[in-house]
């Protein structure tokens, strides 16, 4: 595709030639123009997750960052409609005032980049579909999207869904858009389901001496009637002073007296129900057999923020891998990782966040194969500077690739939007 053509557009462009459309009509006009001239474009928000996915080989760039602001918020209807690039922080602030929240806990990827919070926009959050620790209880980002509006690769403004939770009118395109990394539509408007904020939370931290106990406990937690809203395992490895110092610095809490490997689970609700649940869980998990401690709400809340923000990998220059498998294979995965990698396990044993040092790039292939064998997949979220792209960042089997390619074509026949961001040819 030639990229030299100057398109006929009045839309604001900054000195780096990035287009900043101010509304969906401008987005539509711009993409229509690109479509006419066979020009591909990168779609960005505020760049908080720019390192995820392949670099797109496009000379044009559209920033949707001007499409920002709350369109309507009806707390009693449990939904909020926003422009696609509304900052997550802004949404969280307005929900907070009405004691509500985005229950799926958006991940703040800023910390792994430079140690500072950068939550980005809701559009980026939806486009990547990465939910935080509460995934096991409330579902993923995709489960909270009620509807959207966006511009497809032909420049057509399309919509799907609505503002109500019960809706089976037509194909559920919201699901397709979640996790599509801007390859199907440039999002312009998103309607999200919001939920009441939990009154309080507590975290039980269990010291783990024998790794075999990790999945025994995860299994009991997921079988408990005392709904836990998050469960993680944080090992104390690899065995290096630097690592331990860093880990102890991040997870420094008054009531967290031990520094070894631990499993932590969160209970939410009002105070009485939390106490009730802790009592039941103590029995179900045989907590008398383990050294354990409970973090009250003032420690529990920041604890889970640190988990959700991937602070363990703060300012990393290494590869960050996100690996989802079935819990039944978790112990085998622990054994594989044992003492070689910095990692932790979220989602009650399903999600492994792993850091693989730049020198071990070749190990990623082996790791990926294993993730597949263990009933899941592995995504390379962030690559080290010297990453050779020998192993693709996203994986897909042949049949799904064939369908995905056709779906891409149905939205974006000329591959205008973020071409190659996830897969070559899509």
For other proteins, the binding residues in 341-360 under the rule CB under 8 A are 347, 350-351
| Residue number with CB closer to other proteins (85 or 103) | 103
Contact 222, 348 (CB under 8 A): yes
Considering only residues 12, 38, 74, 260, which one is a binding residue for other proteins as defined by CB under 8 A? 74
By CB under 8 A, is residue 222 in contact with other proteins? Answer: yes
Smallest distance, Å, CB 174 to other proteins? 8
Binding mask 303-342 for other proteins (x = CB under 8 A): ---------------------xxxxx--------------
| Residue number with CB closer to other proteins (151 or 256) | 151
Total residues interacting with other proteins, rule: CB under 8 A: 84
Return the structure tokens found at 281: 């869980």
List, in sequence order, every residue forming a beta bridge with 364; answer none if it has no partner. Answer: none
| Entry field: residues in the chain | 426
β 292-295/79-83 pair status: unpaired
Smallest distance, Å, CB 2 to other proteins? 26
By CB under 8 A, is residue 223 in contact with other proteins? Answer: yes
Sign of CA dihedral 40, 404, 389, 316: positive
By CB under 8 A, is residue 422 in contact with other proteins? Answer: yes
| Residue number with CB closer to other proteins (18 or 324) | 324
Considering only residues 5, 18, 94, 158, which one is a binding residue for other proteins as defined by CB under 8 A? 158
3-class DSSP state of 355: strand
By CB under 8 A, is residue 375 in contact with other proteins? Answer: yes
By CB under 8 A, is residue 404 in contact with other proteins? Answer: yes
Task: Quote the CA–CA distance of 209 and 235 in Å, as a whole number.
Answer: 10
β 60-63/18-19 pair status: parallel
| Residue number with CB closer to other proteins (163 or 236) | 163
Considering only residues 7, 75, 207, 306, which one is a binding residue for other proteins as defined by CB under 8 A? 75
Task: Quote the CA–CA distance of 211 and 71 in Å, as a whole number.
Answer: 49
Considering only residues 11, 157, 297, 301, which one is a binding residue for other proteins as defined by CB under 8 A? 157
Considering only residues 93, 117, 406, 425, which one is a binding residue for other proteins as defined by CB under 8 A? 406
Q: How many CA atoms lie within 13 A of 338 on its CB side?
A: 10
Q: How far is CA 46 from the centre of its chain?
A: 16
Considering only residues 2, 16, 225, 339, which one is a binding residue for other proteins as defined by CB under 8 A? 225
Of residues 234 through 293, those in contact with other proteins by CB under 8 A are 269-270, 272-273, 276-277, 280
Considering only residues 306, 396, 414, 420, which one is a binding residue for other proteins as defined by CB under 8 A? 396
- Can you give the three-state secondary structure of 308-349, one letter per residue? HCCHHHCCCCCEEEEEECCHHHHHHHHHHHCCCCEEEEEHHH
Smallest distance, Å, CB 13 to other proteins? 27
Phi, psi of 109 (to 5 degrees): -85, 0
Phi, psi of 409 (to 5 degrees): -60, -35
Name the segment binding other proteins (CB under 8 A); options: 29-37, 109-117, 150-158, 383-391.
Answer: 150-158
In the sheet that holds 70-74, the strands lie side by side as: 70-74, 79-83, 185-193, 145-152, 157-161
By CB under 8 A, is residue 159 in contact with other proteins? Answer: yes
| Residue number with CB closer to other proteins (158 or 250) | 158
Task: Please give the span between the terminal C-alpha atoms of the chain, in angstroms, as a whole number.
Answer: 15
| Residue number with CB closer to other proteins (174 or 203) | 174
By CB under 8 A, is residue 410 in contact with other proteins? Answer: yes
Considering only residues 377, 387, 414, 420, which one is a binding residue for other proteins as defined by CB under 8 A? 377
By CB under 8 A, is residue 97 in contact with other proteins? Answer: no
Within a 10 A sphere around the Cβ of 138, how many other Cβ atoms? 17
By CB under 8 A, is residue 9 in contact with other proteins? Answer: no
Considering only residues 180, 188, 309, 319, which one is a binding residue for other proteins as defined by CB under 8 A? 180
Phi, psi of 241 (to 5 degrees): -60, -40
Within a 10 A sphere around the Cβ of 175, how many other Cβ atoms? 16
Considering only residues 376, 387, 414, 420, which one is a binding residue for other proteins as defined by CB under 8 A? 376
| Residue number with CB closer to other proteins (90 or 143) | 143
Return the structure tokens found at 286: 């045989």
List, in sequence order, every residue forming a beta bridge with 295; answer none if it has no partner. Answer: 203
Name the segment binding other proteins (CB under 8 A); options: 37-45, 236-244, 310-318, 400-408.
Answer: 400-408
Return the structure tokens found at 365: 């292939």
Contact 33, 7 (CB under 8 A): yes
Smallest distance, Å, CB 375 to other proteins? 5
Task: Quote the CA–CA distance of 128 and 116 in Å, as a whole number.
Answer: 20
């Amino acid at each position: 595709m030639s990229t030299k053509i100057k398109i006929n557009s009045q839309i604001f462009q900054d000195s780096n030639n990035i287009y900043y459309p101010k509304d969906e009509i401008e987005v539509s006009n711009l993409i229509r123009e690109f479509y006419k001239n066979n020009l591909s474009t990168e779609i960005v928000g505020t760049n908080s997750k720019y390192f995820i996915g392949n670099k797109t080989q496009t000379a044009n760039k559209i920033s949707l960052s001007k499409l920002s602001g709350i369109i309507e918020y009806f707390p009693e209807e449990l939904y909020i409609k926003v422009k696609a690039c509304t900052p997550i922080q802004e949404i969280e602030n307005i929900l907070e005032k009405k004691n509500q929240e985005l229950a799926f806990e958006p991940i703040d990827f800023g910390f792994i980049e430079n140690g500072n919070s950068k939550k980005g926009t809701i559009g980026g959050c939806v486009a990547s579909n990465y939910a935080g620790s509460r995934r096991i209880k409330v579902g993923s980002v995709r489960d909270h999207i009620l509807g959207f509006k966006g511009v497809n690769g032909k420049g057509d403004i399309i919509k799907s869904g609505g503002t109500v939770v019960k809706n089976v009118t037509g194909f559920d395109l919201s699901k397709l858009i979640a996790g599509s990394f801007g390859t199907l539509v440039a999002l312009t408007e998103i309607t999200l389901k919001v939920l009441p904020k939990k009154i309080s939370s507590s975290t039980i931290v269990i010291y783990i001496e024998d790794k075999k106990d990790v999945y025994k406990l995860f299994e009991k937690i997921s079988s408990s009637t005392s709904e836990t809203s998050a469960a993680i395992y944080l090992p104390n490895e690899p065995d290096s002073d630097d690592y331990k110092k860093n880990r102890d610095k991040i997870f420094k809490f008054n009531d967290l007296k031990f520094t070894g490997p631990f499993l932590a689970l969160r209970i939410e609700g009002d105070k009485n129900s939390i106490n009730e649940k802790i009592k039941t869980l103590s029995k179900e998990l045989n907590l008398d057999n383990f050294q354990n401690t409970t973090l009250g709400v003032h420690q529990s809340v920041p604890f889970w923020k640190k988990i959700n923000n991937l602070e363990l990998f703060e300012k990393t220059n290494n590869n960050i891998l996100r690996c989802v498998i079935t819990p039944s294979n978790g112990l085998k995965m622990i054994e594989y990782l044992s003492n070689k990698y910095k990692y932790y396990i979220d989602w009650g044993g399903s999600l492994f966040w792993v850091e693989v040092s730049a020198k071990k790039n070749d190990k990623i292939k082996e790791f990926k194969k294993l993730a597949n064998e263990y009933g899941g997949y592995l995504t390379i979220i962030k690559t080290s500077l010297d990453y050779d792209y020998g192993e693709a960042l996203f994986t897909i089997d042949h049949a799904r690739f064939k369908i995905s390619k056709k779906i891409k074509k149905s939205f974006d026949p000329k591959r205008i939007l973020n071409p190659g961001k996830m897969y070559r040819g899509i």
